C-alpha cells in the first residue's frame, strides 16, 4: 500500500515485539479494505514506555496495541479506562483522540468471540467452566465467562494464593462466589460435570512442560480450548478431539481481540475468516 499524507497510523508496542503476529494481521485487513493506513511493530523498552506512548499520541498515531511487558504499566498512563481494562487490570488497546489516552482491553471479547465462532452451540450458562492458570490471560478469560453468563468457574492454579487473589478481585457484586478455587492436585476431579475446559497456563507451549491432566472425568459434551497457539494443535486439544470433544484452538482469540482496535483506528469492522487464519499462520 502506498500511503498518502493523511495515512492513519497504529502499531504494537512490546519488548521484544519481533514475534508479534499483529503487524501481519492488521496489514492483511488494511490491504483487504484498501485503507490508507499502516500498522507497525514498535519495540519499546519498559523504561521508555511512558515517553513512547506520549510521543505516539503527539505524532498523530490513532493508537496502539500493547503486549508484554506493557499491559499493566499502561493503566497508570491512561486518562480513561474501559470497564474491561479496569476489571482485567491491564490494557491491550490504546486509542488516542482529543489529546486524551484511552485504555481498553479486548482480550475477554476475543476469547468469547473465538468460542462463539468455533463452537456456536456452546453456552456459558449451561455448565461449570474449569480454568487452569491464574495469570493475566486467566483474568480475561474469567471476566468473559462471567459476562457471558457462567454461573460457576472452577479456577485451578499451581500457586493457590494467586488463584485466591484473582477470585477475590473478579468475583465481586452479583458474581460473588462464582469463582471457586480448586487445588492444582485436584484438577482432574474438577472436570466432573464441566461444560468447558480452558488452559491458560504455559504448559503445552513449545519449549515449556507438558500439561499433565487426565480427561476421564470430563463429560464428552464439554468444549475444550487452549490459549496456547504454538503449537496450534496442543497435546490437550489433540487428546480432547480424540475423546470426541469439540475443541477450539488459541489463534482465534488473538485474531478476534484485534477487531475492536482496528475498528477504532481505521473505521472499518474487520472479519476473522479462514483466509485470514491461513495468512497469519503462513509467515514466509
> Of the ranges 53-61, 95-103, 122-130, 157-165, which one interacts with ligand ATR (CB under 6 A)?
157-165
- For residue 69, state whether it binds ligand ATR (rule: CB under 6 A): no
**32, 33, 123, 158: residue in contact with ligand ATR (rule CB under 6 A):** 158
**80, 125, 159, 192: residue in contact with ligand ATR (rule CB under 6 A):** 159
Distance, in Å, from the CA atom of 93 to the CA atom of 207, rounded to the nearest integer, reads 28
246-248: strand order across its sheet: 179-183, 153-157, 129-132, 196-199, 223-226, 246-248
Distance, in Å, from the CA atom of 108 to the CA atom of 124, rounded to the nearest integer, reads 13
Whether residue 69 is preceded by a cis peptide bond, meaning omega within 30 degrees of 0, is yes
Q: Which of residues 191-210 bind ligand ATR (CB under 6 A)?
A: 200-203, 209
Residue 49 vs 61, nearer CB to ligand ATR: 49
Residue 91 vs 246, nearer CB to ligand ATR: 91
What are the beta bridge partners of residue 65? 12, 93
Selected catalytic residue, list 8, 32, 71, 176: 71
Shortest Å distance, C-beta 62 to ligand ATR: 26
CA atoms within 13 A on the CB side of 34: 0
* Angle at the Cα of 163 from the Cα atoms of 14 and 179, rounded to 5 degrees: 110
Total interface residues for ligand ATR by CB under 6 A: 15
Q: Can 8 be counted among the known catalytic residues? A: no
Distance, in Å, from the CA atom of 104 to the CA atom of 91, rounded to the nearest integer, reads 5
Distance, in Å, from the CA atom of 72 to the CA atom of 55, rounded to the nearest integer, reads 19
Residue 97 vs 183, nearer CB to ligand ATR: 183
Alpha-carbon Rg of the chain, whole angstroms?
A: 19
Residue closest to ligand ATR, measured at CB: 135
**78, 95, 134, 143: residue in contact with ligand ATR (rule CB under 6 A):** 134
> Of the ranges 3-11, 55-63, 134-142, 187-195, which one interacts with ligand ATR (CB under 6 A)?
134-142
Query: How crowded is residue 210: how many other Cβ atoms within 10 Å of its Cβ?
Result: 10
Residue 155 vs 264, nearer CB to ligand ATR: 155
Residue 159 vs 192, nearer CB to ligand ATR: 159
Shortest Å distance, C-beta 20 to ligand ATR: 14
**41, 43, 50, 135: residue in contact with ligand ATR (rule CB under 6 A):** 135
What DSSP string describes 6-71?
A: T-EEEEEEESS-TT-SHHHHHHHHHHHTT-SEEEEEEE--GGGHHHHHHHHHHTT--EEEE-TTST
Closest alpha carbon to 100 in 147, 41, 144, 57: 57
- Interface residues with ligand ATR (CB under 6 A) are 133-138, 157-159, 162, 200-203, 209
Q: Give the residue numbers annotated as catalytic, written as ranges.
A: 71
Amino acid at each position: 500500500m502506498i500511503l498518502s499524507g493523511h495515512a492513519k497510523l497504529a502499531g504494537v508496542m512490546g519488548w521484544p515485539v519481533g514475534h508479534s503476529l499483529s503487524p501481519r494481521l492488521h496489514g492483511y485487513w488494511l490491504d483487504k479494505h484498501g485503507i490508507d493506513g499502516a500498522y507497525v511493530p514498535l519495540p519499546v523498552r519498559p523504561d521508555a514506555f511512558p515517553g513512547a506512548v506520549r510521543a505516539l499520541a503527539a505524532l498523530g498515531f490513532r493508537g496502539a496495541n500493547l503486549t508484554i511487558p506493557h499491559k499493566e504499566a499502561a493503566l497508570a498512563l491512561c486518562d480513561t479506562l474501559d470497564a474491561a481494562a479496569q476489571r482485567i487490570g491491564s490494557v491491550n488497546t490504546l486509542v488516542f483522540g482529543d489529546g486524551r489516552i484511552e485504555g481498553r482491553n479486548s482480550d475477554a471479547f476475543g476469547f468469547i468471540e473465538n468460542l462463539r465462532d468455533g463452537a456456536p452451540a456452546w453456552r456459558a450458562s449451561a455448565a461449570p467452566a474449569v480454568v487452569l492458570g491464574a495469570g493475566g490471560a486467566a483474568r480475561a478469560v474469567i471476566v468473559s465467562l462471567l459476562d457471558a453468563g457462567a454461573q460457576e468457574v472452577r479456577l485451578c492454579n499451581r500457586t493457590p494464593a494467586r488463584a485466591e487473589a484473582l477470585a477475590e478481585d473478579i468475583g465481586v457484586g452479583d458474581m460473588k462466589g462464582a469463582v471457586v478455587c480448586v487445588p492444582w492436585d485436584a484438577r482432574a476431579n474438577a472436570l466432573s460435570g464441566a461444560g468447558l475446559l480452558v488452559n491458560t497456563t504455559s504448559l503445552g507451549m513449545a519449549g515449556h512442560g507438558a500439561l499433565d491432566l487426565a480427561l476421564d472425568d470430563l463429560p464428552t459434551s464439554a468444549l475444550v480450548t487452549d490459549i496456547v497457539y504454538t503449537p496450534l494443535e496442543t497435546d490437550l486439544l489433540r487428546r480432547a478431539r480424540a475423546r470426541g470433544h469439540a475443541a477450539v484452538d488459541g489463534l482465534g482469540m488473538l485474531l478476534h481481540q484485534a477487531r475492536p482496535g482496528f475498528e477504532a483506528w481505521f473505521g472499518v469492522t474487520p472479519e476473522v475468516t479462514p483466509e485470514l487464519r491461513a495468512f497469519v499462520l503462513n509467515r514466509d
